[in-house]
Chain A
């Protein structure tokens, strides 16, 4: 071995060293899109815009987010514990009994979903701002309005949430007061609405997206609840916002209530803002799964086994059939006893909200049976949904409870419906106006209010107009119309009934710890995992 051969080895080694010390990760980025090489084309920018909306798919149409927060805590929907099913550590029971805590999953999911929406809007505003084109300016207004709507839900559910608008600010945000959040939502909606399109419900260019009337529908709801949020009522503003929608002439009450909820409901003139669900392309509308009995899978030929969960309660069902609460044509309906014995009651067309009574196979004739029926259930193995529910937990009978049948379940659905889901529906805006008018005039028989309510009663319910109305009658009518549409908790709070007694819920202990001196239970706890991740966040009063 001489010097030259040693140097040859050394040279060989050096060559290898030099060629293999580059560590740029982009060189091995085979299938990922890095932030630096995306949003370069119009198509990519549109796909980015889409991320502000696809967040919505995960919400209203299922059991995970806003719907159970607004409904299971109220008096119209319940998730009973059926033996080992739906026990889930007791959190469904806690929603109903108002003992929810900061570790519970529904507040967490909802918080995550809403702030993801907020943050996506912030990110996209920051993305579109430097572009400076007309279309990017339109997108910015649309995104700011959408962000305000996400904040409207946060305001309603959590109250003192942090307001975050600047995507470049990387400091985890601290809480704002409920008043500040209210002011922010109002200001943003008013400021951005003029730049939004005044398109109607069937205009594809804004279908599923926030337009001018969406912003005003949200303002109407914001003002309707302003007294709860800020202590100051805003009835006139609520009426004016409703009128902006109503007087546009683009919307109308559907001839048939069901037209809003059937599988092919696209095109309803009541749709102010929808989630354009699709069983394959835009999934998340899982009502067949959360409410139907497992044995009904073959009845509808669903791609998944249903979970036998969400149901209504007998008092709520009774508000449809009881002629005192709901005058109208009488006929045979499923009764309130523990067997659902047929009885005489009001035939409100909106009883289609429920799946009750005996259930059949797909042929519609052969009774559907459940060999695992509870021993105590008096109607035995044939599946018979009774409005009567024997108990909330732990052993509610498997067949007890009227099921949520409001949205049509198409045969062969994947478990995800293709029905459109209206977040803001014209009937709700009409009822908002009726209510604001009544509060404003302190008169539940105000002619404007009475006319609206009776129009809905006759057209949608096929029931008799109220000759006179009380706040209770108004609220009952609103509940029949808006069942399962995620407004009930908000409505009960507004009417001061949320902390009172109703089925499976004893009155809440009075306190004034909540924002603006309301009961602390009227806003939800901020999830502990969020407080853990964000040092600047403070828990709502009354929760630990």
Chain B
């Protein structure tokens, strides 16, 4: 352990940074008597980062990962102060020998600090549904996305990413579906910066994440709170603590463990498929064992008045598909500086991320499933080598050699993200603080794709092939910028037994997005692929381009009052009035109130074995914005692209028409939610739990609905369409099964149920359905497969009901009157895409220096439309494609493929998401290295499900394609579709090392 002397800070900081960079640290040691000791909790678990200081002196150290510390004291009479957040401080004399110090928790978890909107509270004071997940509880292993840290950990927060695409994001849903507005994912607040991307911060740099689940807790964020709020708090050095240098590194091997079932070469030949005399496992050919590594190096500490953290994160991730993955460098610097006798506090956070990604092509998985298994990968035969590129290709629609797709074509993305977040808080008089924050988020995404001259692949998002267009290139640049300015004035005081805290504030945020895209082909040589000036398409008019710029503004005033009567009764009330440019002239402003109260029953009556029992209830209103700007305005634009000109008097000229229907009445989506909860700790805090019941009503849902033409100028309009009603329960239980000995075992379960119904539609739409989605290309762009119906749960899968095949192998469907028919006219509910409930179950074991935890999670009651089967599980496709043959495959079918409930499957699952075995090495107390822990994590170790597709994860929405032509938005009313773009399911093993210096 090192002693920190409060000398000149800048010099010291400088020294630390230099040391950090040189990766070798030396510190001076001072004092006359060395005292060693170890701090642990009641159960004997070592406590790290406990502050140990010499009473009346200037020396302070923090404990290492093993709880050990060494400190220099003047003499044996010196006294040490041991303090740690959430534990009772201890004062003790040094005496002689090694100190073994046990700290007792104060009020257990109830003293945890919970981060809420514009402030913090003690857990005991919280009167709404807020869940805190700390770094220790995060998911472990190969974590490349912040959302992954929370997956399965928070009852009511669903997080899913089907398939193993390293460049795909997670969908996050609160309590099923709470809004149809701009974002169905929660609002993310990082260190007070509102509305940023959840991956602004590297997973390694996060201290804790608080999830505001009910409307009462989220209402202070007004218009963006309806999908919940995730508040991320980054790690900070402890003030006065020793500098900590930590290194976390992982290496991961990830491999596919589930492909779409299809015929192998022998089966395909036996079924009558064309025999091309080879035997290729296309899935194997396009996949690999992907090796990824991450390195995180952080430095944190502080002197008097200063605390800082600096970290560098490097990730090199391979995808299981060949030539995919990304490399990312992220840096974060956080500084807190106090001045003017600690009355003024500055904070500054800077983060910067650059990611170079090879996206690859999702179609490769589709074609690996359907490409002829008897075809060779490579050929020189001109009958198969259709482009001269040496790959075997065949002329079918929506069909290409998957190996060639990944090897020949490039699809890359460079993402840059820079955040600035600074604040200053001044304590004007005791308890009264004025605070100013300014923050910026800058995001740039640059895409580049190229299909070379010998590439046969047609159905990329570019819609053309390299061979037909003589090489084809696409560049696209998107930039977004938002800035946040906030003032708050807060006051905190205590009047007798009544604690009062209040805050009021003003918030301004503006957003701007712009970008452009260019596509062109006809290159003399592939070598000039990145040089558009070499493309002939500009000269011959075949090049295309697009560009855009849009923006919006948000303005809000807000306030909150918290009362705490003697830690027995609690009351909180807040109000936010917020305005946005995005609404109709008469509906620019919305009002979002909330009130909540709690009562700790254990403080009033003595209950045996009850440590705390808090009853709480809340009611609040949150809002949601529309997904884009200008929806209230009537807009004109060119009628289609450049290929849609008007022949006028001998020339082709622009034609302009309506591009958007006006809706001057467009107004806030409004979510009103009642939440009642119970927090308890029983049996000496051994059993802890939280139970919540909620009931909510989201009215004036904002959705882009189909409207009739005439009378409307165009066929879509953003409207307030109706009301969602939902209710559910959430339960979180933790129990220390074994406690206090060498072997400890803690288990925790969470459970959440959902029930979301489209309760009503407005009178124009009464009795209708909205949000229908279709089976897709080729040819089934208008085959509806889902819809949302008034009075029915969200997530309806809709279509003809399959009843078997007749003697001739023709499909038989229900005719709605109990008879069989070949007609698909009658359609009905085929299933529901959203689960009835979800659960997580975690276990943590410690035995001496070993730790083991495993985590299971699952979703029960949802169905999925297996689109692989819907397109390819039919013997008649064998003339063109390989055949999907799940357990439902029926070789007797003679009909062409027709969509029906045959392709809807129950998809309930439980999976062993994560298991980690770790070992903390016993180290000498005074070594340079403070702690070493090594671990191995397995992810996705097994899945129990009846679903035959690659991944039974819930599809919370139907993802759009922002790079499509035209781009399409995600459809939140269409959960439950397993698209053919899904990557295969993977399993991974990670070796990790944590070092602290």
Contact = CB atoms under 8 A, between A and B. Distances in A.
Interface residues of B, number: 113
Interface stretch (B252-260, B320-328, B549-557, B670-678): B549-557
A1 B428 contact: yes
A247 interface: no
Given A23-B581, A282-B644, A394-B894, A381 B383 contact: yes
Given A169-B711, A172-B711, A281-B645, A544 B825 contact: yes
Contact of A532 (B557, B768, B878): B768
A295 B272 CA distance: 23
A134 interface: no
Interface string B642-685: 11111111101111111000100000000000000000000000
Contacts of A35: 633-636, 658, 662
B779 A83 contact: no
A81 B896 contact: yes
A294 interface: yes
Interface stretch (A25-33, A467-475, A476-484): A25-33
B782 A103 contact: yes
B637 A48 contact: no
A16 B508 contact: yes
A81 B879 CA distance: 11
Contacts of B898: 89-90
A86 B880 CA distance: 11
Contacts of B715: 112, 116
Contacts of A167: 710-711
Contacts of A123: 658, 713
Interface stretch (A202-210, A257-265, A340-348): A202-210
Contacts of A50: 639, 645-646, 648, 653-656
Contact of B645 (A17, A21, A282, A369): A282
Contacts of B637: 32-33
A169 B654 CA distance: 28
Interface string A153-191: 000000000001001011111000000000000000000
A28 B581 contact: yes
A86 B782 contact: no
Choose among A34, A36, A51, A308 the residue with the greatest number of B CB atoms under 10 Å from its CB: A51
Interface stretch (B75-83, B464-472, B567-575, B851-859): B464-472
A164 B713 CA distance: 13
B633 A395 contact: no
Contacts of A25: 552, 581-582, 629-630, 632-633
Given A93-B896, A101-B823, A204 B429 contact: no
A303 B542 contact: yes
B769 interface: yes
Choose among A90, A164, A369 the residue with the greatest number of B CB atoms under 10 Å from its CB: A90
A89 B799 CA distance: 12
B458 A32 contact: no
Contact of B896 (A49, A90, A204, A284): A90
A1 B341 CA distance: 14
A204 B635 CA distance: 31
A86 B553 contact: no
A23 B487 contact: no
B764 interface: yes
A30 B541 contact: no
A454 interface: no
A191 to B, nearest CB: 20
A276 B653 CA distance: 12
B946 interface: no
B233 interface: no
Contact of B469 (A49, A303, A533): A303
B780 A88 contact: yes
A451 B765 CA distance: 58
Contacts of B589: 23
Contact of A17 (B506, B766, B768, B779): B506
Contact of B395 (A1, A294, A530): A294
B694 to A, nearest CB: 32
Interface size class of chain A, counting residues whose CB lies under 8 Å from the partner chain: 35 or more
A118 interface: yes
Given A35-B636, A89-B780, A372 B396 contact: yes
B731 to A, nearest CB: 40
Contact of A30 (B394, B397, B549, B706): B549
Interface string A296-328: 010000111101100000000000000000000
B775 interface: yes
Given A23-B581, A83-B881, A119-B713, A88 B778 contact: yes
Contacts of B272: 375
Contacts of B581: 23-25, 27-28
Given A21-B555, A88-B778, A105-B782, A282 B647 contact: yes
B271 interface: no
B128 interface: no
B709 interface: yes
Contact of B642 (A51, A281, A295): A281
B643 A13 contact: no
Interface in A30-73: 30-36, 38, 44, 46-51, 53-55, 57
A293 B397 CA distance: 10
A23 B656 contact: no
Interface string A114-127: 01101110110000
A283 B657 contact: no
Contact of A90 (B428, B652, B712, B824): B824
A122 B658 CA distance: 13
Given A26-B633, A303-B469, A375-B272, 11 more contacts: A25-B630, A35-B635, A50-B653, A54-B646, A167-B710, A294-B396, A303-B464, A369-B383, A395-B879, A533-B706, A535-B764
11 contacts: A20-B553, A25-B630, A30-B551, A31-B548, A50-B645, A55-B639, A83-B880, A84-B879, A205-B649, A303-B469, A371-B394
Interface of B: 272, 274, 370, 383-384, 394-397, 428-429, 434, 458, 463-465, 468-469, 485, 487, 489, 506, 508, 510, 512, 514, 540-542, 547-553, 555, 557, 579-582, 588-589, 629-630, 632-637, 639-640, 642-650, 652-658, 662, 705-713, 715, 764, 766-769, 772, 775, 778-784, 823-825, 827, 871-872, 876-881, 894-899
Name the 8 nearest CB pairs between A and B, nearest first.
A88-B779, A50-B646, A50-B655, A83-B879, A51-B657, A283-B643, A35-B634, A394-B896
